[in-house]
Structures are given as structure tokens and as C-alpha cells.
Amino acid sequence: MQRPFLFFCRPGFENDCAAEVQAFANEYNLPGYANTKLNDGYVRFYVLDQTSEEIFFKELDLSELIFARQWFWAKAELTNLDPADRVTPILEAAGQFGLCQNLLVEHLDNDSGRELSKFCKKISTPLTIACEKQGIVQKAKKLKESELQAELQLHILFMANDHCYLGCSLVGKASNLKGGILRLKSPKDAPSRSSLKLDEAIQVLMSKKQSQAIFRLGHTAVDLGAAPGGWTYQLVQRGMQVTAVDNGPMDKKLMATEHVIHLKENALTWLPQKPVQMLVCDMVEKPSLVAQLMTKWLIQAKTEQAIFNLKLPMKKRFQEVSDCIGDMCDQLDEHEINYYWQAKHLYHDREEITVYFRRKMPKLN
Ligand SMILES: C[S@@+](CC[C@H](N)C(=O)[O-])C[C@H]1O[C@@H](n2cnc3c(N)ncnc32)[C@H](O)[C@@H]1O
């Protein structure tokens, strides 16, 4: 059997995901090709020889990919599973991969995949118990973190209730969330649903340490294109004092917190007098224009960090994103600014991706 690497993405973004994975393989000179179908919600990537497969597996890191939410190396495919006993053949196949640290029972985020959500939840517990009993998966609950030695994560992806792919990824290099999806509930008093995008971005793109350092009482932020205030709400919830720039009206309850100053200014030209800790921007503008604006703020040290959306209604989205972020990096390099960046097509994003840039400060002795 051919052993494809499977990459999960938002349905409709298969070509962007494939282009990105292909670029990754090319970077390592690994021969391979992608296979996609529009709206499938995943990409198969075939690496052409065994040595290259192993290198690809070791080098892949989800945090470096923008359009993929999850990945694993599918080493077995089971069809016509008997509804009376699906577990036995799954255990036989999974037993060949080596000891795994945990098991994810997953489905895709397309129409047929979502219908399998209940089935996956139901079968997850018996499968986990059986895998632990057989020594395929470590009994995580009984072990301390230092005792978890296995480096593999076991994935079982159900395509139908009688059809699944089995395989593994490396712990820490794929998502430990089913389908790579962080599900969040919209807070009742959030001014807009778009609030969830920033909540997810903070949790996915920033480490706990980075969030703790930046989200503190008294720290300041600017929200460009803020109305009605979903993103500002997230910053205020995390203790920040926010300047919200937008000609549109802000949510009254949010303004009553007295943690927000609303400026009816043009967000493309306005700059603060004092630098802030965090800049966020969710304006519906050309991606290259937003990237330029963020670069200006970072180069002029008007902010330490920036989280922003690049809206991508165009066809070659991966190309557009590469150009925008490439230009940003070139300009920051020219100004000898050290930085870290990561970008992701988040679960709560639609025709857009979310980008995080952080200026790295030199360490003081
Ligand atoms: C997608 S909405 C932002 C939603 C917001 N993040 C939230 O969570 O509620 C984009 C906003 O950008 C504002 N906007 C677009 N161009 C702007 C500009 N040049 N100056 C100020 N605001 C602008 C619009 O008025 C609109 O309110």
C-alpha cells in the first residue's frame, strides 16, 4: 500500500494546503506530489522513496504550516470494517507502529466527516482502553509527564463508520487536539462572534509564557478596525487598556468598562504617541496593505507584538501569503530587527489567516 501523509484543512483550501506542503518538500529536496479534491477537507501527500518519507516525517512541524490544521503519516487503511467488531482489526494494524503516547480518534471537517462526530466520540473510549491494554498506547493517566517516553501519537481517522486510516505523527509536531480544532464557546457578552478568532489566535499562536508576559493589568494595546469590539473585548478580558480605532460604533457595554478609548480616526495612518505592548488588526483591506502597516508599527517600535488577519478572497492564497510575509521579513531584516512569527488558518477564520509577529528584545545582562 502507498503510505500518504494526510493534512487536514478547511474545506475549500485544499489547493493552498497542497501548495504549502509541496513547497515544504521542495525545500528539503524530497520528491513527492499532492493529491486533492475540492471541499474534501484534506490533502494526501505522497513522498516517493522510503528514505525521503522518513526525513519528511521527522522534519514536518505543524507550527510551520499555515493552511494545515493537523497531519499524520497514514500507514494503514482499513475498509469494510465489521460493525460487530471494529476494534480487533484496528488493534492488529496499530500494533505495528510502535508504542504511542496517546490516541486521537478523528474525522474530517467536511460534510460527511462532521456526521461522524458522534460515532467517533462513542468509539474513542473503547478504542483507547483496548490500545492501552495491548500496550499500543501508554496509560497516560497513570504516568508522570517525565515517564512518558513514547514519541509517537497514534491517529485513527474515520472516513465512514466502516472505513479508517491509521497512522502516527511525532508528539509536539502535530496537534494534540482532535482534527487540530480548538473549539471555543462565544462569551455571551462578546460584541461579535469574531471575538473567537482572537481568543483562538492567542491560545494557538502564543506560548503560555508569552501570553503571561504580555497580558497584564496596565499593559496597553491598540485595536485597528475595532468596531463593534469583539477583539477589544478579548484584550480587556485579559487586563489590557485598549485604544480602539474605528469610525464605526463600539459596543456600549464594553465602553462602560472604562478600559477602552475609542478614536474615530483612519487606522491606516494613525500612530500612538507612546509604544504599546500589543497591536491587533482585523480590517478588511488588501493583505499587502495590512502587512505594510504592521511592518511600519514594528519597525518604528510602536508595538512589541502584533496579531492581525490577512483577508484572502483571491485564488492563489498561499502565494499571496508567502509574498506578504516574505516582504515583512525582508523589511524587518533590513532594519536588523530580531523577530519571531507564526501564521495559521485558524478554525474560526474563514477567507483569511491570522498572523502573529513579535519583536525579540535583546537580553539585558
Ligand atoms: C471585520 S470588522 C472588525 C471586527 C472586530 N475585530 C470585532 O471583533 O468586532 C472591520 C472594521 O474595520 C473598520 N475599518 C476598515 N477600514 C478602516 C480604516 N481605514 N480606519 C478605521 N477603521 C477601519 C471597519 O469600520 C470595521 O468596523
How many domains does the chain fold into?
Answer: 2
Same domain as 242, residue 143: no
pLDDT at 362: 64
> H or E segment at 114?
helix 111-115
Residue nearest to atom 14 of ligand 1 (CA): 225
pLDDT at 141: 65
Handedness of CA 82, 83, 84, 85 (dihedral sign): positive
Encoded amino acid at 33, one letter:
Y
Domain match, 171 and 211 both: no
Q: CA angle at residue 64 from 212 to 4, to 5 degrees?
A: 135
- Looking at residue 177, its pLDDT comes to 96
Count helices and strands in the chain by DSSP H and E runs:
11, 14
Q: Does 190 fall in a domain?
A: no
Tell me, yes or no, whether 188 lies in a domain. Answer: no
Indicate if 132 and 268 belong to the same structural domain. no
On whether both 215 and 319 belong to a single domain, the answer is yes
Domain membership of residue 248 (yes or no) is yes
Long-range residue pairs from 235-241, CB within 8 A, at least 24 positions apart, any chain: 235/198, 235/278, 235/280, 236/260, 237/187, 238/202, 238/211, 239/215, 240/215, 240/216, 240/277, 240/278
Residue pLDDT, tens place only, 30-57 = 999 999 999 999 999 999 999 999 999 9
> Residue 267's pLDDT is what?
98
146 phi/psi in degrees, rounded to 5: -70, -20
State the distance from the centre of ligand 1 to the C-alpha of 42, rounded, in angstroms: 32
Nearest residue to 349 via CA among 329, 321, 323: 321
Look at residue 259 and tell me whether its pLDDT is greater than 80. yes
Query: Domain check: are 172 and 202 in the same one?
Result: no
Domain-ending residue, one of 151, 180, 209: 180
Quote the ligand 1 centre to 248 CA distance (angstroms).
Answer: 7
Assess whether 146 and 255 both reside in one domain. Answer: no
Residue 323 maps to a domain: yes
Which of 250, 282, 292, 312, when mutated, tests ligand 1's pocket best, judged by the most ligand atoms within 8 Å of its CB?
A: 282
What's the order of all strands across the beta sheet hosting 32-36? 32-36, 42-47, 5-8, 70-78, 163-170, 152-160, 100-106
Do 64 and 135 have their domain in common? yes
Cell triple for 304: 512589541
* Substitution candidate for ligand 1 out of 250, 251, 283 with most atoms within 8 A of CB: 283
End residue of a domain, out of 145, 180, 215: 180
In a domain? residue 168: yes
Domain span including residue 282: 195-364
pLDDT at residue 61 is higher than 90: yes
Angle at CA 268, nearest 5°, toward 196 and 245? 50
Rg (CA), the chain: 22
What is the pLDDT confidence band of residue 315, given thresholds at 50, 70 and 90? confident
**Which ligand 1 atom minimizes the distance to the CA of 198?**
8
N- to C-terminal Cα separation, the chain: 57
| For residues 300-323, average pLDDT | 95
Pocket lining: 246 vs ligand 1, CB cutoff 6 Å: yes
34: cell is 499532492
pLDDT tens-place string over residues 89-136: 999 999 999 899 999 999 999 999 999 999 999 999 999 999 999 999
CATH code where residue 255 lies: 3.40.50.150
Residue 279: which residues within 8 A CB-CB, separation 6 or more? 221, 222, 224, 294, 297, 302, 303, 305, 306, 307, 308
Residue-wise pLDDT for 133-161, tens only, equals 999 998 766 666 666 667 999 999 999 99
Query: Residue 146 has what pLDDT?
Result: 62
Residue 189 placed within a domain: no
* In a domain? residue 100: yes
Domain end call among 180, 209, 226: 180
Contacts of 171 (CB under 8 A, 6+ apart): 101, 102, 150, 151, 152, 153
Question: Can you give the pLDDT at residue 1?
Answer: 67
Give helix 14-27 / helix 317-334 axis angle, nearest 10°. 50
- Whether residue 239 sits in one domain with residue 176: no
Residues designated as active site = 311
> Does 364 score more than 60 pLDDT?
no
CATH code at position 141: 3.30.70.2810
Q: Is 190 in the pocket of ligand 1 (CB under 6 A)?
A: no
Which pLDDT band, with edges at 50, 70 and 90, does 2 fall under? confident
Residue 16 carries which side chain, given as an amino acid letter?
D
The answer on pLDDT for 343 being more than 90 is: yes
pLDDT in tens, 203-248: 999 999 999 999 999 899 999 999 999 999 999 999 999 999 999 9
229 lines ligand 1 (CB under 6 A): yes
CA 87 from chain centre, in angstroms, equals 31
From the CB of 186, is ligand 1 less than 6 Å away?
no
Q: Taking the model in full, what pTM does it have?
A: 0.94
pLDDT in tens, 262-308: 999 999 999 999 999 999 999 999 999 999 999 999 999 999 999 99
User: Does residue 47 sit in the same domain as residue 70?
Assistant: yes
**Residue 186 domain-assigned?**
no
Whether residues 19 and 44 fall in one domain? yes
350 alpha carbon to ligand 1 midpoint, in Å?
16
Same domain as 214, residue 164:
no
Q: Domain check: are 203 and 111 in the same one?
A: no
Q: Are 240 and 215 in contact (CB under 8 A)?
A: yes
